[in-house]
Copies of this chain bind each other. A is one copy, B any other.
Amino acid sequence: MTEDPRPAGSPTLEDVARAAGVSRATVSRVVNGVRNVDPVIQESVRQAVAATGYTPNRAARSLVTRRTDAIALVVSGAGDDPTPEDETGGAHPAGSTGGDGGGHHAGSTRGAHDPDEPDGGAGSSFTAQVFADPFFGRVVTGVVNYLRPRGMYPVLMFAETSRARDEVVSYLRQGSADGALVVSTHADDPLPALITDAGLPAVLYARPSRPTRISYVDLAHQDGARLAAEHLLARGCRRIATITGPLDVPAGQDRLAGFRDTMARAGQPYLPLAEGRFTQESGEAAMARLLAEHPDLDGVFAANDVMAVGACHVLREHGRRVPEDVAVIGFDDSSAAVACRPPLTTVRQPVEEMAAEMARLLLDRLAGSDRAVTSVIFEPSLVVRGSA
C-alpha cells in the first residue's frame, strides 16, 4: 500500500540523502569528513546514516578515487616456471624448517580426502615453505600493525613462478591494490623490475640483488655479523666456524663478509665455513660437515636462528655442550631463538619495525609526499642469551 519500495541491496548515499533531506553530495561530504558542512546538517546526516545502516561501497568509491586502500604483500621467489626436474631444486625460501618429509603415517587414514597432494596440500609448495620460517610471520606482523590503524589491509600473494609474477603485476595493474610490498627470498628475482617497469608503486624488504630503481629497507648485515664475531672472540673462542646463508643472496653474502672481515682483523685469517639455505635441515647438515672437518671447533656463527637451532642439535648429538664446548650464535632473534635450548644468543634484526617502515615508505609514496627512491638501513643489535 505504501509507495516506498524498499531498495533491494544495502542502503546507498541516495537513501541516506533522502532520509536526511539533503543531497547526495552533502552526505558524501559528511561521510568523508570534508569541511564546510553546517554542524546542524552534519548531525542530521549522521542520524540518517545510523538509521539506514549505511556503509559506503568500496568499489564505487575506488572507481572514482582510483584508490583501493589495499596493498599487496608479496613473497617472491626467483624460480622460473617449475619444470618436471625442478620440483624441489632451486627454491629455498629464506629459511624454512625443510620438508616435513620424514615420518610414516600410521593408524587410521580414513580421512575424507585423498592424501596425495590435494588442493591446498602442504607438499613442498613454496607457500608452505615460506611460513615454516618465523621470519615471514614477523614481516606480516609489522606490516599489519602499521596498516591497520590506517584502515588498510594486506592482500597476501606469492610469486615464485613467472606465471605467478605476471598475476601479481596484473593484479596491481587492475587497480586491485594501490601498491606492493615485496619480500624477495631469492637472488635474481625478476619481480621488482617487472613491477617498476609497469610503473607500479612498490617497496622492497632487502636490497635487490640486481640494481633496481626501487625503495627498500634493509639491515646492516655486516655490522650484525661483526657483533657476532666480536662476541665470540671476546668470549675466548679461537677455533671458530660459520654456517652461511645461501651465498647468492645479499643477506647471505653480507653476513659472511662482515663476519670474515672482523675475524681477519682480529688475527683469525682462516674461517671454516659451510653453506646453508637458511633452513634448519641445511643448518644441521652444515654443522655436521663442519664438525667432521674441524672436530675441535669452539664457536659457530650461523647466519640465521633456524640454522643455529639445527647446529645445536647436531652439536649435542655429537656430545658437545653448548655453550661450554662450543658457543653458538644465531642471527635474527626470531622465535626460534627463544624456543631453543639453550636459548640462542643472536643478532637481532628488527623485522617488525623494518616491515612497518617498508609499509610507511609505500604509503608516503602513494600519498605523493615522497616520490624519491630511498633506502632505510636498520642497525642490528646483539641479544645475549645462553648459547654464547
Interface membership of chain A positions 95-121, coded 1 if the CB is closer than 8 angstroms to chain B and 0 otherwise: 011101111111111111100001111
Q: Which of A38-75 contact B (CB under 8 A)?
A: 55-60, 62-63, 66, 68, 70, 72-73
Residues of B within 8 A of A112 (CB): 376-379
Residue with the greatest number of chain B CB neighbours at <10 A, chosen from A100, A101, A154, A359:
A100
Task: Tell me whether A10 and B173 are in contact (CB under 8 A).
Answer: yes
Known pairs A55-B173, A108-B223; A155 contacts B154 (CB<8 A): yes
Cα–Cα, bound, A148→B356 (Å): 26
Residues of B within 8 A of A57 (CB): 63, 174-175
Contact partner of A137 among B9, B131, B170, B227, CB < 8 A? B131
Contact partner of A107 among B104, B338, B381, CB < 8 A? B381
- Minimum CB–CB distance from A282 to chain B (whole Å) comes to 13
Cα–Cα, bound, A66→B58 (Å): 10
Cα–Cα, bound, A166→B29 (Å): 23
Interface-side segment among A186-194, A248-256, A289-297, A347-355 = A347-355
Q: Which of A356-381 contact B (CB under 8 A)?
A: 356-357, 359-360, 376-379, 381
Say yes or no for A333: interface residue by CB 8 A criterion.
Answer: yes
Contact partner of A338 among B70, B100, B376, CB < 8 A? B100
Which bracket fits the contact residues of A? 35 or more
Task: Tell me whether A103 and B384 are in contact (CB under 8 A).
Answer: yes
Say yes or no for A28: interface residue by CB 8 A criterion.
Answer: no
Q: Which of A126-155 contact B (CB under 8 A)?
A: 127-128, 130-132, 134, 136-138, 140-146, 148, 151, 153-155
Copies per assembly? 2
Say yes or no for A382: interface residue by CB 8 A criterion.
Answer: yes
Cα–Cα, bound, A333→B104 (Å): 11
Known pairs A97-B335, A98-B338; A379 contacts B155 (CB<8 A): no
Residues of B within 8 A of A109 (CB): 379, 381
Task: Tell me whether B174 and A352 are in contact (CB under 8 A).
Answer: no
Cα–Cα, bound, A62→B174 (Å): 11
Q: Nearest chain-B residue to A157 (Cβ)?
A: B153
Task: Tell me whether A132 and B127 are in contact (CB under 8 A).
Answer: no
Known pairs A119-B145, A144-B156, A353-B118; A343 contacts B102 (CB<8 A): yes
Task: Tell me whether A379 and B110 are in contact (CB under 8 A).
Answer: yes
Task: Tell me whether B382 and A106 are in contact (CB under 8 A).
Answer: yes
Residues of A within 8 A of B (CB): 9-10, 55-60, 62-63, 66, 68, 70, 72-73, 96-98, 100-113, 118-122, 125, 127-128, 130-132, 134, 136-138, 140-146, 148, 151, 153-158, 164, 167, 170-171, 173-176, 223, 227, 231, 280, 309, 313, 316-317, 333, 335, 337-339, 341, 343, 345, 348, 350-353, 355-357, 359-360, 376-379, 381-385
**What are 26 inter-chain pairs, A to B, with CB distance below 8 A?**
A55-B170, A55-B174, A98-B338, A100-B333, A106-B383, A106-B384, A107-B227, A107-B382, A108-B381, A111-B350, A111-B378, A111-B381, A112-B376, A112-B379, A118-B356, A119-B356, A120-B141, A120-B146, A120-B357, A121-B145, A131-B136, A148-B164, A153-B171, A154-B156, A156-B156, A313-B341
Closest 4 CB pairs of A and B: A120-B356, A131-B137, A107-B382, A59-B62
